[in-house]
Amino acid sequence: MKKLKLFETESTSSRRSFLRNAGAMAFAAPALSWLSQPAFAENSLQGGKPLGIALVGLGYYSTHQLAPALQKTKFCKLTGAVTGTPAKAAEWEKKFNLPKKNIYDYKTYDRIADNPDIDVVYVVLPNAMHAEYTIRALEAGKHVICEKPMAVSVKECQQMIDAAKKANKQLAIGYRLHSTPQHQEVMRFAREKTFGAIKVVETSDGFRIGDPSQWRLKKSLAGGGSMMDIGIYALNASRYVTGEEPVSVFAQEFKTDPVKFKEVDETILWQLKFPSGAVATSTSTYAAGVERLYATCENGWYEMGPCYGYGPIKFRTSKGEVNLPQLTHQAAQMDDFAQSVMSNKPSIVPGEEGLKDLKVIEAIYKSIETGKVVTIS
């Protein structure tokens, strides 16, 4: 979760203005496939009662991104909160008009099972706490969105998936970009081979991290450094840009500040090989700002940047600029999940999606440790 400038404004882009864009004419109609996605579909659920969401952990992301986004959602609303800070509890109760009974601390967390106002729990805690609080929410009979990374190990991811199945509840991972029209479009390019077979992919994400005392730099809480926090965006993108799962990886780690990054990684470079022969080169870093998604294919190329942050996404291809609506990512993401729950259909970002990324991340760390190419099973 990156501390970037807030983006609260919805774009007024329309189908008509999109079609007027000369560079996008060749694929304008298919590009509107996002309209059929759950967050935008017109269906009978719109007249129903929105699902209640409780945010667990009231840090930066909940305060400045998720809570504001929940004021824009159609199919869900903020109905509860969990915090260990009494001052925050009082502030959120007043600011969002939350009933006192819907605000919990970590000792009373499991009592959420008895609260019909809360349908979904969104876990927004340090990475090492994701598994515990996700499983407890599922056992309490609630659907769960867990912020990325899903957990700090493949073992924990599987435990979370198993708990969801046992509870017969949905578990989704906070991959908000899957709900944006721009990233959905590159997924379509992969499925339909719009530009021919994909050959080479480049994905990179990074920013210059500040406070050296924050939890993201403590391995016991974060599980890893830039790779776990933001490299996962680049990793996830390389998977959906190709539409394939990688078969092997080679990775290297670099540190310019060994004191600040004593416990976790600062910069990691890795290369993925895919079954089709496509390759991806990626970077994750806490040393500098970078946002890039690029794919070159048999018959052209496409790229986005900025593309992983919370604001507008810039998108162009070898055929020209691509103008798709700019959305509040988190609102679209939570509405997607709410409609999946209400229609009893699988989430577009289920727990299995998070598990796949953690398998690759574990292989990346193993490659760094051994200095060898690691096969991903």
In whole angstroms, give the CA distance from residue 307 to residue 316: 11
52: in domain: yes
pLDDT at 274: 98
236: in domain: yes
Burial of 117 (0-12, 13-18, 19+ CB in 10 A): middle
Q: Is the domain of 67 the same as that of 200? A: no
The three-class DSSP label of residue 310 is coil
CATH code of the domain containing 319 = 3.30.360.10
Answer whether 163's CB lies under 8 Å from 131's CB.
Answer: no
The catalytic residue positions are 148, 233
CATH code of the domain containing 170 = 3.40.50.720
28: in domain: no
In whole angstroms, give the CA distance from residue 190 to residue 313: 19
pLDDT at 47: 53
The three-class DSSP label of residue 99 is coil
Diameter over CA atoms, the chain: 59
Q: Is the domain of 151 the same as that of 197? A: no
Alpha-carbon dihedral sign for residues 236, 238, 241, 246: negative
Q: Is the domain of 50 the same as that of 172? A: yes
346: in domain: no
Alpha-carbon dihedral sign for residues 58, 89, 115, 53: negative
Q: Is the domain of 99 the same as that of 232? A: no
Q: Is the domain of 150 the same as that of 211? A: no
pLDDT at 48: 75
Q: Is the domain of 153 the same as that of 190? A: no
The number of folded domains in the chain is: 2
pLDDT at 16: 32
In sequence order, what are the beta bridge partners of 56? 82, 123
- Residue bearing tokens 């919805």: 10
Mean pLDDT by 10 residues, the chain (377 residues): 33 32 38 39 57 98 98 98 98 98 98 98 98 98 98 98 98 98 98 98 98 97 98 98 98 98 98 98 98 98 98 98 98 98 97 98 98 97
pLDDT at 123: 99
Q: Is the domain of 169 the same as that of 41? A: yes
Residue 207 burial (CB count, 10 A):
20
> Which domain range does residue 125 map to?
37-176
Q: Is the domain of 155 the same as that of 248? A: no
Among the listed residues 179, 205, 144, the one whose alpha carbon sits nearest the alpha carbon of residue 329: 179
